[in-house]
Chains A and B, each alone.
Chain A
Amino acid sequence: MSYSSPVRQEYEVVLEPLLSVPLERELPLGQRLWQQGWVRKGLILILLAVIWELVARYQDNDLLLPSFLQTASALYDGLISGELLSKVTISLVVLLKGYLIGIVLAFALTTLAVSTQFGRDLLSTLTSMFNPLPAIALLPLALLWFGLGQNSLIFVLVHSVLWALALNTYAGFLGVSETQRMAGRNYGLKGIRFVLFILIPAALPSILAGLKIGWAFAWRTLIAAELVFGATSGKGGLGWYIFQNRNELYTDKVFAGLAVVILIGLLVENLVFDTLERVTVKRWGMQR
């Protein structure tokens, strides 16, 4: 027996413009606030500070663990007296110099790597040799070569930025789709203009990731170098401030110094890099 479905009645509907339901509506205030990243992150920070304060009160030993409020007041004093600010400036100037030189070298190396076979081999050999080498391990050598001063710090900073950024940038260049490459070549773009107009913007998500990693590596290396070798440049930076105050058992100032390291890290991550991402890769729909 064959089964066939019953034939239903056909119909047509005349549609009036839809006016009774609003096409867009705003989310409630609470949800809109929660959508803001800084609100959520701020809450996390406040929560951490409260836990810290509670643990410190319970511990009740200023020498081992000063409370959040004590650290905050030490930080405030340091900032008011200008001591902390001048240390931060010294550190940041050295850091930026090393960071920028590292970026320039990384781009030169990766540009060479995408254009020639020799450059490719050079990059892969150098990164596999030097990337695993901790920058701080090079400092004794740098001190020997460049003497006690900014230059040896810049040398180790460049070392810590260069390889991480070059690796990421190169991986980003390799990931650029064949269609986009062909479109660029179709316009007659070649050599350095091809890298500037096609490869760099197309690989920007990877490059930004590399810049972030490079920044963190550089910051870490700098503080460590200052801690280990003290005032290499005659007047010490933030690491030296931490080291000095630990020697004099001003634990609250040590914490204030560490807090400044953390705060600068947070600021750069959330202001500089987030803004960069928002106006570039996120706006272009290349990254969520």
Chain B
Amino acid sequence: MNASVQGHAASYLTANVPALLSVDHVSLEYRPPQRVVRATHQVSFEIDPADRFILLGPSGCGKSTLLKAVAGFIEPCEGQIRLQGQPVTAPGPDRMVVFQEFDQLPPWKTVKQNVMFPLLASKTLNRRDAQERALHYLDKVGLAAFADAYPHTLSGGMKARVAIARALAMQPKILLMDEPFAALDALTRRKMQEELLLLWEEVRFTLLFVTHSIEEALVVGNRILLLSPHPGRVRAEINCHQYNLHSLGGVDFQASARRIHRLLFDEDEALHTEQTLNFNDIRIAY
């Protein structure tokens, strides 16, 4: 019921452009032995082309599960996920995933072979073209010099760059990133966020990005979907296209961060009401 209101609002706003990805009242469950646990309940959102859409929520709210459902690894127990109108049923290379773990790069392939791997495995390109495209995207992430290195010789940040290059080289309809920078140190993380935004300026890919950091969400995204603690339900959708790395520490930025914090952890609302009035495009699911 709540989510239908939210869904209406989304379709109203984007009536002229059909959404690239629509997640419609999706509930997800996972099964530890002997039980079924509901991870998310009736979540709806829509992503437009060239969006940098963020799923933000406390740990355990089902945001990664939601991303895996969009990737096709998990089947929703109710609701539907559609990519350009086609229901998502299985994993596929049109939705490339960048994982958090460093072992997402097969260690038996060099950096270049890693970027070529999905292109060849999905039979998108022949070997020569795949190599050319791999080198092009490796150059974009600044790793052209490491094309023949094996992943175990790279630093964490470089591995994350390879994973991003590998995903972008497939030129997927949507790029899914599951806390890709969470395992990096703070300095490297900041640098990677900056590079990701620069890449986006250049390529204008569509991004679905999962994070648990409010700051990262505000910097990286243009829209944020807030999920409540377990089980994940939509708490709010917030625009943040006005922020980038230079807004860090600014007054507006701080205010938005506080507002998200309040929404996520249900702190005393009265204290912060005057700050929330500045935003006219807030949609909160009551």
Contact = CB atoms under 8 A, between A and B. Distances in A.
A202 B93 CA distance: 20
B121 A189 contact: yes
A204 B91 contact: no
Contact of B108 (A177, A188, A189, A204): A204
B150 A186 contact: no
B106 A198 contact: yes
A179 B101 contact: yes
A57 interface: no
- Interface size class, chain A: 20 to 34
Contact of A180 (B68, B73, B106): B106
B108 A193 contact: no
Q: Is the interface of B mostly helix, strand, loop or mixed?
A: mixed
Contacts of B213: none
A186 B121 CA distance: 10
A186 B118 contact: yes
Interface string B192-232: 00000000000000000000000000000000000000000
Contacts of A184: 121
A187 B73 contact: no
A188 B99 contact: no
Interface string A183-195: 1111111000100
B84 interface: no
B119 to A, nearest CB: 9
Contact of B103 (A177, A189, A280): A177
Interface string B115-126: 001100110000
Contacts of B122: 187-188
Nearest to A178: B101
A286 B92 CA distance: 27
A187 B93 contact: yes
A263 to B, nearest CB: 32
B151 interface: yes
Contacts of B249: none
Contact of B92 (A188, A193, A283, A285): A188
Contacts of A280: 108
B153 interface: yes
Contacts of A186: 71, 91-93, 95-97, 118
B125 to A, nearest CB: 13
Interface residues of B, number: 24
A64 interface: no
A11 interface: no
A244 B122 CA distance: 60
A228 interface: no
Interface string A201-240: 1101000000000000000000000000000000000000
B150 A284 contact: yes
Given A185-B73, A186-B93, A285 B121 contact: no
A185 B153 contact: no
A282 to B, nearest CB: 10
A173 to B, nearest CB: 15
A117 to B, nearest CB: 16
B107 A179 contact: no
B222 to A, nearest CB: 25
Q: Is the interface of A mostly helix, strand, loop or mixed?
A: helix
A182 interface: yes
Contact of B150 (A188, A193, A202, A285): A285
B176 to A, nearest CB: 9
B152 interface: yes
Contacts of B101: 177, 179
A219 B91 CA distance: 45
Contact of A187 (B68, B121, B152): B121
Contacts of A197: 117, 121
B152 A284 contact: yes
B121 A188 contact: yes
A174 to B, nearest CB: 16
Given A179-B104, A180-B106, A188 B93 contact: yes
Chain A CB within 10 Å — which of B95, B103, B104, B108 has the most?
A: B108
Chain B CB within 10 Å — which of A177, A182, A185, A202 has the most?
A: A182
B150 A283 contact: yes
Given A188-B122, A193-B121, A285-B151, 20 more contacts: A177-B103, A180-B103, A180-B106, A182-B73, A182-B91, A182-B99, A183-B97, A183-B99, A184-B121, A185-B91, A186-B95, A186-B96, A187-B122, A188-B91, A201-B106, A202-B106, A283-B150, A284-B107, A284-B152, A286-B108
Q: Which 6 A-B pairs have the closest CB atoms?
A: A285-B152, A187-B121, A187-B118, A185-B91, A201-B108, A179-B101
Interface of B: 68, 71, 73, 91-93, 95-97, 99, 101, 103-104, 106-108, 117-118, 121-122, 150-153
Interface of A: 177, 179-180, 182-189, 193, 197-198, 201-202, 204, 280, 283-286
